[in-house]
């Protein structure tokens, strides 16, 4: 997996923390509302970046199940 989606996840986390601080400080509703809207857009963008990421795995579900059975022995 590329590192770019990880940065976007960090940005979403920071936006959520900012929103919590805004609500705790009783800032005007408009600021909190627009921060929430921007956060929603960043989440959508982050999910689309992750889903469009060029990632291939060598293991399949069948390999995973086989690994689980081997570890139980």
Q: Which residue has the tokens 């690994």?
A: 67
Question: Which of 31, 52, 49, 51 minimizes the C-alpha distance to 41?
Answer: 49
pTM: 0.54
Neighbours of 46 (CB within 10 A): 19
Predicted local confidence at residue 71, as pLDDT = 55
List, for residues 6-58, the tens digit of each pLDDT value.
Answer: 787 888 888 888 888 888 888 888 877 887 888 888 888 888 887 887 777 67
Could you give the 3-state DSSP secondary structure of residue 12?
A: helix
- The domain of 31 spans 4-72
* pLDDT score recorded for residue 2: 55
d(CA 69, CA 25): 53
What's the total number of domains in the chain?
1
Distance from C-alpha of 47 to C-alpha of 32, rounded to nearest angstrom:
22
pLDDT reported for residue 65: 66
């Amino acid at each position: 997996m590329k590192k770019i989606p990880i940065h976007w996840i960090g940005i979403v986390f920071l936006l959520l923390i900012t929103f919590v601080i805004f609500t705790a400080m009783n800032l005007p509703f408009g600021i909190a509302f627009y921060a929430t809207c921007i956060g929603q857009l960043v989440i959508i963008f982050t999910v689309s970046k992750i889903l469009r990421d060029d990632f291939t795995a060598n293991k399949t579900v069948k390999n995973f199940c086989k690994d689980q059975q081997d570890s139980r022995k």
